[in-house]
Amino acid sequence: MIIAIDGPAASGKGTLARRLAAHYRLPHLDTGLLYRAVALTLLDADRDLADATAAADAARGLDVAFLGDPRLRDSAMGEAASIVSAQAAVRAALLDWQRRFAGAPGGAVLDGRDIGTVVCPDAAVKLFVTASAEERARRRHRELGERGETIPYDAVLADILRRDARDADRDAAPLRVAEDAVVLDTTALDADAAFQVATDVVEGRGGKRN
């Protein structure tokens, strides 16, 4: 069983994906970390994030051990990842890796921007997790504050809106709702309520614990 979870930044898809993976005893991949790792590789090498050739080379040579680098969680890396993820060569370089992960025995849970539309179009379960931009900015602002990062709410909201536009408007695998996806709006839901709705969807599609 492959569970594909897509959605914009700070919608709650990552938290939901981790809980579903634990509940159904499936491996989980936050595909956003792959793009953050590519961006960090470029920054560490003092390369331009918009350098398509360098970005594609970094994607092809990506070491999965790098996904544990705590710097990938920094707020600035979200913006950097959004820049490199818009490049078709980068997405192509990472596509096979993601599909191999999804093909693990028993299935997997993947979250990102194009899982249900491009990476795993035949996934048994597709969820599109979203929330209002203002609510997503509040969540991200609170998360950053808990990590000791003092960034004004207005700056966080502006970043959310900028990333939304870039994700939706890019030529390569833009953020879209798959035709057969269930849209889960978490604006007024806490994590437990969202998880309950999601498990209802999964089990309605025949999903069960491994």
According to CATH, the topology of domain 2-203 is Rossmann fold (3.40.50)
Q: Tell me: the pLDDT tens digits for 21-74?
A: 999 999 999 999 999 999 999 999 999 999 999 999 999 999 888 898 999 988
Could you tell me which residues are annotated as the binding site?
7-15
Q: What is the pLDDT of residue 207?
A: 66
Could you tell me which residues are annotated as the binding site for ATP?
7-15
Q: What is the pLDDT of residue 150?
A: 87
Q: What is the phi/psi pair of residue 28, to 5°?
A: -125, 140
For the chain, the domains span: 2-203
Q: What is the pLDDT of residue 210?
A: 62
Task: Please count the CA atoms within 13 angstroms of the CA of 14 that sit on its side-chain side.
Answer: 11
Q: What is the pLDDT of residue 75?
A: 78
Q: What global pTM score does this model have?
A: 0.90
Q: Yes or no: say if 134 and 7 are a contact pair by the CB < 8 Å rule.
A: no
Low-confidence ranges of the chain (pLDDT < 70): 207-210
Distance (Å, rounded) from C-alpha 90 to C-alpha 159?
22
Q: What is the pLDDT of residue 78?
A: 85
Q: What is the pLDDT of residue 205?
A: 81
Q: What is the pLDDT of residue 209?
A: 67
Tokens in use for 1? 């069983």
In angstroms, the Cα distances linking 4 to 9, 21, 82, 86, 118 are 16, 11, 20, 20, 10
> In the chain, where does DSSP find H-type helix?
13-24, 32-44, 52-60, 75-85, 88-102, 133-146, 153-169, 191-204
Say which DSSP state 54 is in. Answer: H
